[in-house]
């Protein structure tokens, strides 16, 4: 029985109907002695068809099909390759045996979609692995390679070739027969081990509703009759699937894939890239070099500071070895990658590069000098990329005679960890540069998002609006710890003032000083950060910023110095400080993001609304289970969004631009697809 619903053989309704018919035929035809279920193409089954969620469930349902497999008197073997995930693994668990190729991955990732396995996974998996492993796997959505799954008892055999032949051989072997997992008993385990697994799962899963539900239902495997527990699983699954959190997680799942799509006129053949030159051996440059090395590129690293260059080269080699020891990459890849790293001792060293990425100091004059050198030394047709966070790509490109080769590749720090990559086209970027940047990002296993060349592109511009509104709230009456606590309660990994202290207040201070001369005095400006920096309080690096830091630990709240500075700023502006509730803080910060997002869409800086959510979730710690600022706004009543816009318009005063919420809230067909 071969399931073919490319690209990932999702168990859509037609597949379910055909599979049930095949199982019924196996059951009824006397000459048939056993069955093998396998997937066509590159994989077994990636799960239920997520695109069907949000619509009425159509028969036959997976639990009915799996019951038919178990009640079929003939043995059925699942032959697994590629990925057997979610409903795909549940299908395999309903079979009498599971045989896989070594490269197969298996898992129950439902919690990453805000749901729990809804077709027996919570009851069958523990019968093979025990409760502690089942709790860990189901609450994390962890995917296991075949060998690991085999060791845990989830697979019966791992074969290196002829998967179908091995499955048929199993059917013809003496061990073939009905061995329904549902009839097995859950292996005994120490209650304290189960409790520890529970606590670990709740911590790692931030006690999200799906994780809490998964633990409750999985534990029934050892206490409740199978059929009854199965009904509880189904009920919990259906409730979660209808929740806004599940809708948000499905939204971001599809948004991440949608972001890779370029508009028709930019769908061009990417320029071939084999050798990458990175200019600047600082934190960003080294992180970019590491990513490129691990992705298989030949990397040339250049820095005018030869001591820093040598140090960064050593650090890169060490990092490659460490990642091999941690099992993140193979030892062979680590050694081979080290051989692909060259430390250039001058500009001539970049002559062979197909792509040059500069990650030097964020100053236009410095970037201009680098691009003049690139103009001279980079080979014709090489892509000249800047990692700038804020500067105008066109202003940088103006330093070369080949503006058509200039592109923004905005990595996020640490560059070898953060998946987000903003691919920024300048006014003169050649039409194949977007495809080249997106393909390069994908090859680094990044999440590339196409951006227009506006101040702060997508992410920094929105984060800037969010942080500015939070500074206004400081002056209006909230303390840093109240604002951070409110936004961390919303789900941000860190509040804006803790983030500012971590990245260093002096960086923002330098940028503000550089822009002071062009700032319109009529716009509201909060001088608190400048006052802190005047006192040498740059944040963690000076053990004092908005907070105090001792032994790396942040103080619970801001101290009297900070409060005096804030109160003085309020007084100077004639503000009578007032209390802001957690909800006030959350809504003002979020509507500031939404308002900026609306303008970014109107200005076509982002291709689509869902791209903005991908940027905020992957670049700024926006809680994934809320789906991003756009998804959040779509879940709000319009009248409250308008009310909140009025509030920040009043708080901002001169220069406030009210975005067009309609453009943001209308569902496009891509959104409807998800």
The span of 15-23, 85-93, 222-230, 313-321 binding ligand T1G (CB under 6 A) equals 85-93
Torsion of CA 471, 472, 473, 475, to 10 degrees: 90
In 10 A of CB 92, how many CB atoms?
27
The span of 81-89, 265-273, 564-572, 661-669 binding ligand T1G (CB under 6 A) equals 81-89
> Which residue among 389, 429, 498, 558 is the active-site one?
389
> Which residue among 9, 222, 291, 460 is the active-site one?
460
The span of 80-88, 144-152, 191-199, 244-252 binding ligand T1G (CB under 6 A) equals 80-88
> Which residue among 81, 150, 410, 416 is the active-site one?
410
> Are the beta carbons of 415 and 287 closer than 8 angstroms?
yes
CA-closest candidate to residue 41, choices 17, 65, 71, 10 = 10
Let me know how long the chain is.
674
Say how far apart CA 639 and CA 645 lie, in whole Å. 10
87 is a contact residue toward ligand T1G (CB under 6 A): yes
Toward ligand T1G, which CB reaches closer, 47 or 408? Answer: 47
Q: Which of residues 38, 50, 128, 360 is near ligand T1G by CB under 6 A?
A: 50
DSSP sequence for 301-345:
EE-S-HHHHHHHHHHHHHHHHHHHHTTSS-HHHHHHHHHTEEE-S
Toward ligand T1G, which CB reaches closer, 317 or 442? Answer: 442
> Are the beta carbons of 564 and 526 closer than 8 angstroms?
no
CB 554, min distance to ligand T1G, A: 36
Say how far apart CA 498 and CA 555 lie, in whole Å. 10
118 is a contact residue toward ligand T1G (CB under 6 A): yes
Toward ligand T1G, which CB reaches closer, 254 or 347? Answer: 254
| 419 contact partners, CB below 8 Å, separation of at least 6 | 445, 446, 447, 618
Toward ligand T1G, which CB reaches closer, 148 or 395? Answer: 148
CB 346, min distance to ligand T1G, A: 41
Instruction: Specify whether 368 is catalytic.
Output: no
Say how far apart CA 279 and CA 344 lie, in whole Å. 10
Site residues (CB under 6 A) for ligand T1G, limited to 251-290: 254, 257
8 is a contact residue toward ligand T1G (CB under 6 A): yes
Toward ligand T1G, which CB reaches closer, 109 or 659? Answer: 109
CA-closest candidate to residue 366, choices 473, 279, 263, 239 = 279
47 is a contact residue toward ligand T1G (CB under 6 A): yes
Task: List b or e across 619-635, with b for residues whose CB sees 16 or more CB atoms inside 10 angstroms.
Answer: bbbbbbbbbbbbbbbbe
| 380 contact partners, CB below 8 Å, separation of at least 6 | 402
CB 138, min distance to ligand T1G, A: 10
> Which residue among 233, 294, 358, 422 is the active-site one?
422
Toward ligand T1G, which CB reaches closer, 125 or 343? Answer: 125
CA-closest candidate to residue 600, choices 628, 623, 621, 626 = 628
CB 40, min distance to ligand T1G, A: 14
481 is a contact residue toward ligand T1G (CB under 6 A): no
State both tokens at 259: 């972001």
46 is a contact residue toward ligand T1G (CB under 6 A): yes
Peptide bond into 7 cis (omega under 30): yes
Q: What share of the chain is helix, strand, coil (3-state, %, to 5)?
A: 55, 10, 35
Kindly determine how many residues on this chain lie close enough to bind ligand T1G according to the rule CB under 6 A: 24
CB 259, min distance to ligand T1G, A: 10
Place of tokens 């909140």: 644
Q: Which of residues 72, 76, 93, 119 is near ligand T1G by CB under 6 A?
A: 119
300: three-class secondary structure by DSSP: strand
Say how far apart CA 597 and CA 614 lie, in whole Å. 12
Handedness of CA 138, 139, 142, 144 (dihedral sign): negative
Toward ligand T1G, which CB reaches closer, 206 or 445? Answer: 445
Instruction: Specify whether 389 is catalytic.
Output: yes
Site string for ligand T1G, 229-258 (x = CB under 6 A): -------------------------x--x-
407 is a contact residue toward ligand T1G (CB under 6 A): no
Instruction: Specify whether 422 is catalytic.
Output: yes
Residue 410's region, left for phi above 0, alpha for psi from -120 to 50, else beta, is beta
Toward ligand T1G, which CB reaches closer, 118 or 448? Answer: 118
- CA distances for 218 relative to 96, 115, 155, 301, angstroms: 21, 13, 20, 51
The span of 41-49, 129-137, 197-205, 462-470 binding ligand T1G (CB under 6 A) equals 41-49
In 10 A of CB 151, how many CB atoms?
12
186 is a contact residue toward ligand T1G (CB under 6 A): no
Peptide bond into 414 cis (omega under 30): yes
The span of 118-126, 276-284, 513-521, 537-545 binding ligand T1G (CB under 6 A) equals 118-126
Q: Which of residues 7, 30, 521, 536 is near ligand T1G by CB under 6 A?
A: 7
Q: Which of residues 34, 35, 75, 86 is near ligand T1G by CB under 6 A?
A: 86
Strands (DSSP E) along 515-580, which ranges? 549-550, 553-554
Instruction: Specify whether 70 is catalytic.
Output: no
**Where are the alpha helices (H) located in 446-516, listed in sequence order?**
459-476, 480-490, 496-503, 505-516
CB 28, min distance to ligand T1G, A: 26
117 is a contact residue toward ligand T1G (CB under 6 A): yes
Toward ligand T1G, which CB reaches closer, 48 or 355? Answer: 48
Q: Which of residues 20, 37, 38, 62 is near ligand T1G by CB under 6 A?
A: 62
85 is a contact residue toward ligand T1G (CB under 6 A): yes
445 is a contact residue toward ligand T1G (CB under 6 A): no
10 is a contact residue toward ligand T1G (CB under 6 A): yes
- CA distances for 14 relative to 2, 62, 78, 212, 656, angstroms: 13, 12, 20, 33, 52
448 is a contact residue toward ligand T1G (CB under 6 A): no
Q: Which of residues 67, 72, 76, 110 is near ligand T1G by CB under 6 A?
A: 110
Toward ligand T1G, which CB reaches closer, 128 or 562? Answer: 128
121 is a contact residue toward ligand T1G (CB under 6 A): yes
Q: Which of residues 9, 78, 81, 90 is near ligand T1G by CB under 6 A?
A: 90
Residue numbers at the binding site for ligand T1G (CB under 6 A)? 7-8, 10, 46-51, 62, 83, 85-87, 90, 109-110, 113, 117-119, 121, 254, 257
Catalytic residue positions, numbered: 389, 410, 422, 460
């Amino acid at each position: 029985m071969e399931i073919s619903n490319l690209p990932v053989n999702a168990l859509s309704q037609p597949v379910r109907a055909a599979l049930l018919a095949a199982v019924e035929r196996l059951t009824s035809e006397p000459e048939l002695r056993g069955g093998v279920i396998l997937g066509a193409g590159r994989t077994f089954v990636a799960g239920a068809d997520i695109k069907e969620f949000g619509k009425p469930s159509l028969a036959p349902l997976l639990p009915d099909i799996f019951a038919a497999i178990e009640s079929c008197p003939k043995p059925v073997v699942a032959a697994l390759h590629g990925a057997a995930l979610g409903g795909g693994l549940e299908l395999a668990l309903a079979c009498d045996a599971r045989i896989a190729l070594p490269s197969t991955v298996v898992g129950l990732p439902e919690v990453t979609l805000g749901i729990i396995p809804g077709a027996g996974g919570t009851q069958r998996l523990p019968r093979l692995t025990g409760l502690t492993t089942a709790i860990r796997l189901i609450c994390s959505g962890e995917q296991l390679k075949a060998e690991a799954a085999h060791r845990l008892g989830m697979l019966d055999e791992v074969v290196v070739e002829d998967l179908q032949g091995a499955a048929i051989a199993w059917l013809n072997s003496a061990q073939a027969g009905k061995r329904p997992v549902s009839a097995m008993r859950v292996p005994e385990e120490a209650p304290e081990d189960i409790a520890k697994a529970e606590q670990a799962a709740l911590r790692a899963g931030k006690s999200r509703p799906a994780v809490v539900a998964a633990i409750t239902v999985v534990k029934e495997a050892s206490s409740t009759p199978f059929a009854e527990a199965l009904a509880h699983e189904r009920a919990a699954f259906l409730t979660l699937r209808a929740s806004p959190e599940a809708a948000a997680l499905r939204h971001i799942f599809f948004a991440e894939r949608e972001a890779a799509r370029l508009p028709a006129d930019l769908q061009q053949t990417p320029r071939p890239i084999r050798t990458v030159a990175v200019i600047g051996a600082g934190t960003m440059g080294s992180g970019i070099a590491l990513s490129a090395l691990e992705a298989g590129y030949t990397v040339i690293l250049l820095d005018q500071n030869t001591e820093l260059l040598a140090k960064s080269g050593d650090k890169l080699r060490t990092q490659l070895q460490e990642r091999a020891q941690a099992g993140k990459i193979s030892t062979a890849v680590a050694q081979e990658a080290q051989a692909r790293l060259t430390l250039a001792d001058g500009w001539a060293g970049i002559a062979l590069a197909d792509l040059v990425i500069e990650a030097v100091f964020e100053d236009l004059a410095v970037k201009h000098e680098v691009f003049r050198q690139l103009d001279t030394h980079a080979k014709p047709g090489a892509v000249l990329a800047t990692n700038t966070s804020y500067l105008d790509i066109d202003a940088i490109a103006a330093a070369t005679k080949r503006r058509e080769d200039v592109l923004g590749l905005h990595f996020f720090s640490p560059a070898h960890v953060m998946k987000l990559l903003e691919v920024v086209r300048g006014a003169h970027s050649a039409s194949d540069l977007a495809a080249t940047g997106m393909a390069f990002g994908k090859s680094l296993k990044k999440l590339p998002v196409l951006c227009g060349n506006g101040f702060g592109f997508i992410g920094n511009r929105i984060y800037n609006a969010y942080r500015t509104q939070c500074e206004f709230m400081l002056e209006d009456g909230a303390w840093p710890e109240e604002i951070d606590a409110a936004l961390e309660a919303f789900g941000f990994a860190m509040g804006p003032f803790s983030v500012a202290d971590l990245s260093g207040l002096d960086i923002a201070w330098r940028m503000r000083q550089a822009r002071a001369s062009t700032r319109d005095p009529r716009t509201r400006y909060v001088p608190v950060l400048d006052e802190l920096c005047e006192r040498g309080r740059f944040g963690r690096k000076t053990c004092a910023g908005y907070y105090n830091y001792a032994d790396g630990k942040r103080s619970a709240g801001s101290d009297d110095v900070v409060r005096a500075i804030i109160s003085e700023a309020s007084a100077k502006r004639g503000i009578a400080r007032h209390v802001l509730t957690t909800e006030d803080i959350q809504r003002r910060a979020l509507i500031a993001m939404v308002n900026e997002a609306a303008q970014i869409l109107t200005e076509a800086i982002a291709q689509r609304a869902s791209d903005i959510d991908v940027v905020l979730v992957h670049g700024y710690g926006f809680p994934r289970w809320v789906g991003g600022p756009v998804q959040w706004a779509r879940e709000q009543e319009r009248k409250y969004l308008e009310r909140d816009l009025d509030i920040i318009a009043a708080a901002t005063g001169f220069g406030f631009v009210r975005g067009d919420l309609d453009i943001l809230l209308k569902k496009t067909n891509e959104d409807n697809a998800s």
